[in-house]
Copies of this chain bind each other. A is one copy, B any other.
Amino acid sequence: MQSSEIYLESLITATPQEGRDLAIKLSRKSIAAIQTNPDVRKKLRADYAEDTAQLIASAQVIALEFQTIARANNYWKP
């Protein structure tokens, strides 16, 4: 399953905040890799945007992706 779209050039970000943003982006791209139809994804948003259990589960994905990104950036230590 070769993704046609190149959405990840590097794990290195300038700041921790950009690392968070990248973690959120990677989480979303995983969903898009499984459900490739953007219209379906848009329709599905209502299913989780107000479902706290799914919002919490999404936060787990972001925390896991951020672990990887933070480590790649040596925790943005000076």
Which residues of A are interface residues toward B (Cβ below 8 A)? 1-3, 6-12, 15-17, 19-21, 24-31, 33-35, 40, 44, 47-68, 70-72, 75-77
Main secondary structure, interface of A, reads: helix
The answer for the CA separation of A71 and B54 in the assembled complex, in Å, is 27
Contacts of A35 in B (CB 8 A): 49-50, 55
Asked if B62 contacts A30 (CB within 8 A), the reply is yes
Asked if B53 contacts A57 (CB within 8 A), the reply is yes
The answer for the CA separation of A11 and B36 in the assembled complex, in Å, is 25
Q: List 14 A-B contacts (CB under 8 A).
A: A1-B21, A3-B21, A3-B24, A7-B17, A8-B20, A12-B75, A24-B33, A30-B62, A34-B49, A34-B59, A44-B55, A57-B60, A63-B65, A70-B71
